[in-house]
Structure 1
Amino acid sequence: MAADVNEQPAGYARLLEPSSLTAIAQVAAVIAERRPKHVVFTARGTSDHAALYAAYLTEIRLNLPAGLASPSAITLFGARPDMSEALVIGVSQSGGSPDLTEVLRVARASGALTLAVTNNPDSPLTSAAELAIDVVSGHERAVAATKTYTAELLALLLLVEGIRAGDGRLPADERAALDTLPDLAERTLADPLPGQLAARYRFADRMVTTGRGYAYPTAREAALKLMETSYLPALAFSGADLLHGPLAMTDPDVPVLAVVGAGPGGTAMREVVTKVGERRADLVVVGPADVPGAAARMPVPQVDERYAPLLDILPVQRLALALALARGEDPDAPRGLHKVTSTL
């Protein structure tokens, strides 16, 4: 897992090479020409969080309604929704889950434009789709997904911005900003604090993670990583939902991990952090600036809010790794889990 985590800056650099940019731009141009009316994502697990991030991007940057499909509606209940005006995107590291493949097959049969985003260009998901994007992250050693997740995030960001451009090609200022990501990721991974925090939470019974907007998928992925590597029960909430009741369970014995960045999402999270502070919860913040009331902050460079999830998740992955080791667990092979999970 440590090796996979540390390879992420190189993964960003690969996706930003001309060959990868051109391949994604070609897909984006086809989609822009087809002008879908709405976008439906289908994914499971970690990839579901990447899809959620892309749904935010789609609605904010493309002004298209976006949502996440319920695969079981098709695979278990036999639903055949009319997706003839939709772009349907399957996101999966392995591309091997039968239910996601079936969603794309049914969607394509109904007239939808379908796209597979995977780390396996020879997968069943890719075969079922009209278009495909390879996230080129290479072999992932650990069961818990890390570098494939961030590769999906960047590939989906490049796709959405390419669709917005119309011809798939990124504006020069956008390209220049994205080219800084590998170096920023290296800087973020070099910070020692995530490893030090493992001792603080070694005996925690549960944890809450929270964020708003682009940061909400990070909060969900953070909870998943903590659960699957350390077996630490972790509940993820959007900042808004946390205030609608679950806030009552936070107290000094329940650590809260809050993703608080720049931009509208980060501004909205400050109210959440204030409320959490009033509960005297043990608060750790992931973000570029100190937040009053936080016991600690895992620092990340300040970037455009759209790019922040590519950096915010990195210290969380390192925390999950260190915490698993501190609790005597094996983060490379969590019990009961396999790299490819087949669901129907």
Structure 2
Amino acid sequence: MTNQQSLSALIEALKAVADVVPPKGIEPLSNAVFVGSGDSLSSAMLANRFGHRSMSSGDITWMDELPARCETLVGISHSGTSGATVRALRLANAAGIRTIAITSNPDSPLAEAADFVQQVPSLHVSETVPCSGHLMLGLGVATLTGATTAGAGRTLAQLLEANREIIEDAIEALPVEAPSGISVLTLPDVRSGGDFWMLKLIEACGLPVRSVALEESGHVDYFIGPQPYLALSLVGAAGAGRHTRLAEALASTGQQVQTVSVAGFAQTDNGTPDMIMDLGAAVVGTFLAAGAAKRWGRPPFRGGAVNMDARHIKLDEQPAI
């Protein structure tokens, strides 16, 4: 299946997906911390734009330390079986802190450990480099924060259809040969999406990739070289001028800088952060990563050389405390 065929399948699934609705009887969040691992941590980062915090669930579980002033711990896992996230909720339960699970599996260990379950649908699409789970979890995060997500799947589908050329243009602009490493530069409006780009580029291409705040790239990436290195400047609705000036500075030291704008996904300001643009950015990055893997001859997941049973991150049913 080609990139465009896979994108079409995702668009059709988004058009038909059910809306995410909040759990009955749940009170508004206060001092909430959203936790997850891998793709789910990228989903958790959306909460930062709504005034909450996000962190790796392993930071809680393996430090045996709950975040200061946390009144609600929200654990995120599509399967509901990510070990560190389940354990983090169990630690919160033991401390008397309210817990919420965001998952597609209401019968999972994560759901069992939570006071409330924010269920999200699954998109039944075939994916080489996955992103559908992140999209649904992201809508679950936004719904819990009180954002309006009714019709969000259809809106995202329409915007992906209208912005298809962004993906193909970005793939075409990639260097012919794989770089030694990649930085993904973002401002907060697409920070979650940039973090997701990092994960997908690593999975698809097996290269070292970092997600970095735009200004910090100017303080660090400026010195990278002389080996070939790629800076992907992911531009949302803000800061385009700063992205341009920094790209010029990085290019002056021999860097290859490629700008990808997802401003076309921006929604009319309704007083809430624009999670649709961030989720759209995540889709663009996923398909860009798949295209990069093909262009550079680097099969996703190292061509099957990586053991994908994921036992090292699943719940092993050892006591959490």
| TM-score under structure 2 length normalisation | 0.80
**Aligned counterpart in structure 1 of residue 297 of structure 2, from 323, 328, 339:** 328
**Aligned counterpart in structure 1 of residue 160 of structure 2, from 181, 185, 189:** 185
Distance (Å, rounded) in 2 between the aligned partners of 1:226 and 1:187: 24
Q: Find the counterpart in structure 2 of residue 293 from structure 1.
A: none
Distance (Å, rounded) in 2 between the aligned partners of 1:148 and 1:266: 29
Post-superposition Cα deviations, 1:63-90, rounded to whole Å, max 9, x if no partner, equal: xx5231552543x45x254878511111
**Aligned counterpart in structure 2 of residue 238 of structure 1, from 188, 213, 224:** 213
1:155 deviates by: 2.5
Q: Find the counterpart in structure 2 of residue 312 from structure 1.
A: 281
Q: Find the counterpart in structure 2 of residue 119 from structure 1.
A: 104
Change (3 A) 1:197 1:317: farther
Gaps of 5+ in 1: 60-64, 163-169, 290-299
**Aligned counterpart in structure 1 of residue 58 of structure 2, from 33, 52, 71:** 71
Distance (Å, rounded) in 1 between the aligned partners of 2:119 and 2:97: 20
Change (3 A) 1:99 1:31: same
1:119 deviates by: 2.8
Q: Find the counterpart in structure 2 of residue 94 from structure 1.
A: 79
The 10-residue stretch of structure 1 (140-149 or 130-139) with the greater mean CA deviation from structure 2: 140-149
Q: Percent identity?
A: 20
Distance (Å, rounded) in 2 between the aligned partners of 1:279 and 1:161: 45
Give the conservation status (yes or no) of the 8 Å contact 2:206–2:300: no
Distance (Å, rounded) in 2 between the aligned partners of 1:222 and 1:109: 35
SS across alignment from 1:312: helix
Q: Find the counterpart in structure 2 of residue 294 from structure 1.
A: none
1:47 paired to 2:43: no
Change (3 A) 1:323 1:179: closer
1:92 deviates by: 1.4
1:9 deviates by: 2.7
Change (3 A) 1:214 1:340: farther
Give the conservation status (yes or no) of the 8 Å contact 1:208–1:256: yes
Post-superposition Cα deviations, 1:7-42, rounded to whole Å, max 9, x if no partner, equal: 433444345x4xx34x32x45x6131xx53x11122
Q: Find the counterpart in structure 2 of residue 58 from structure 1.
A: 50
Distance (Å, rounded) in 2 between the aligned partners of 1:266 and 1:341: 42
Runs of 4+ displaced beyond 6 Å: none
Corresponding letter in the other structure for 1:187 = A
Corresponding letter in the other structure for 2:205 = S
1:102 deviates by: 0.9
SS across alignment from 1:308: helix
Corresponding letter in the other structure for 1:58 = F
Q: Find the counterpart in structure 2 of residue 196 from structure 1.
A: 172
- Residue-pair matches, total: 305
1:213 deviates by: 0.4
Give the conservation status (yes or no) of the 8 Å contact 1:104–1:114: yes
SS across alignment from 2:27: helix
| TM-score under structure 1 length normalisation | 0.75
Gaps of 5+ in 2: 269-273, 316-321
